[in-house]
Amino acid sequence: MKIETLRWFNNRLEMIDQRILPAAFEYLSYDSAASVAEGIRSMVVRGAPAIGVAAAYGVALEALRLSQHLPPGRGKDGMGVDSVNDSTPTLALPDGATSQSTKPASGQVAGYLQGGWDVDFNAGMEEGFKVLAASRPTAVNLFWALQRMRKVWESVAAQSPQQTAQRLLAEAHEILAEDIRINKAMGTNGAALLKDGARVLTHCNAGALATAGWGTALGVFRSAVEAGKKISVIADETRPFLQGARLTAWEMVQENIPVTLITDNMAGHLMAQGEVDAVVVGTDRVAANGDVANKIGTYMVAVLARRHNIPFYVACPLSTIDLSIATGKDIPIEERSVEEVKGFRDCHWAAEGVKIRNPAFDVTPAELVTGLITEKGVILQPDAQGIRKLFG
């Protein structure tokens, strides 16, 4: 089944609401930078590459929204600039989902600047960039995408707002398509590392749902299966938001790839019993020295893998490597709401009044990483020198 985590439909961005999977399948519709930022913050969309793509569309949507308040622009040929028409097909309802619909995102707002022809386009765009940048601090793809969109915006500053909006939308479309191409290249490179019959453990969700399609870590599994290898996946449930249980397991079931779900505290036991051949995870940010920030609990898995001599691989597009961050100690770690630890949805299990911590990510030192799987190849025993070569 082809999973379209994000899609452009009827001049709106639509994103699968990952908070309700696998019980229900639903797209939410977004029409502004503010609404996309809220979708990122509330984890309707998550995973560093998907967040980056969403942010790019958030910028384009804000430009489209603001440009609607201004007189139509005229291109060099004298023709007016129209909005893009879309012919994206509707995704078929996955097996097991109870519903599929598209509705406006909860909390969607019209934007920052309202009114008639006096809307300040540039000020509105700056505010759009600002609110998107504040949505989630750890995922470097967010800032990579915003920087790329800002460069495009600045390059067409002499054009009308309508022309600018169309150029930004075209760039967002390209970022989405590029993400899928990169994921498939990583998948091919990573699949070569897995032996036929491998039992591979993964943490959190680094699949199609975390990207524009295909996936990073789960993309490696998809590519291995496409290459004719028989692999099986062990998915940590990934407390507290249960991305492994709700999302990774669901994706693998949709693909008919054998998957076994375990609680996070079972990983060490399975490794000790010889039931894990490799670990492949994704990442939200990699420092210049190869330290890896990923979903909380990844460091624990890496330590266990090293103890049991199991290779620990990280699937990582180059856009996730942050050369401005020297080491993992400098990576900002998001602290999320304590409500996520108290319970899930309508079920609560924590005692009232108990002190709770909820860091969303941890940092795995480069020394525990067997290899970084990128679209340009695999860096074994990653370090600053090896990473710099990728950007040479």
> What are the residue ranges spanned by the domains of the chain?
6-182, 187-390
- At 327 the pLDDT is 98
Catalytic residue list contains 284: yes
Candidates 31, 179, 284, 291; catalytic one: 284
- At 91 the pLDDT is 34
- At 124 the pLDDT is 94
Burial 358-389 (b: 16+ CB within 10 A, else e): bebbbbbbbebbbbbbbbeebbeebeeebbee
What letter would DSSP give residue 89?
Answer: P
- At 23 the pLDDT is 95
**Is the separation of the CB atoms in 63 and 225 below 8 Å?**
no
What distance in Å separates the CA atoms of residue 101 and residue 98, rounded to the nearest whole number? Answer: 10
The answer regarding whether domain 187-390 maps to CATH 3.40.50.10470 reads yes
Matching fold, domains 6-182 and 187-390: no
Task: Let me know the angle formed at the C-alpha of 216 by 380 and 272, rounded to the nearest 5 degrees.
Answer: 65
- At 104 the pLDDT is 61
What distance in Å separates the CA atoms of residue 16 and residue 175, rounded to the nearest whole number? Answer: 18
CATH number attached to the domain at 6-182: 1.20.120.420
Q: What is the full per-residue pLDDT of the chain (392 aa) written as tens digits?
A: 789 999 999 999 999 999 999 999 999 999 999 999 999 999 999 999 999 999 999 999 999 999 987 554 432 222 222 333 333 333 333 344 444 456 666 443 333 333 333 358 999 999 999 999 999 988 899 999 999 999 999 999 889 999 999 999 999 999 999 999 999 999 999 999 999 999 999 999 999 999 999 999 999 999 999 999 999 999 999 999 999 999 999 999 999 999 999 999 999 999 999 999 999 999 999 999 999 999 999 999 999 999 999 999 999 999 999 999 999 999 999 999 999 999 987 889 999 999 999 999 999 999 999 999 999 999 999 999 999 999 97
- At 139 the pLDDT is 84
DSSP, collapsed to helix, strand or coil, labels residue 259 as: strand
User: Within 13 Å and on the Cβ side, how many CA atoms surround 386?
Assistant: 19
What distance in Å separates the CA atoms of residue 198 and residue 8, rounded to the nearest whole number? Answer: 37
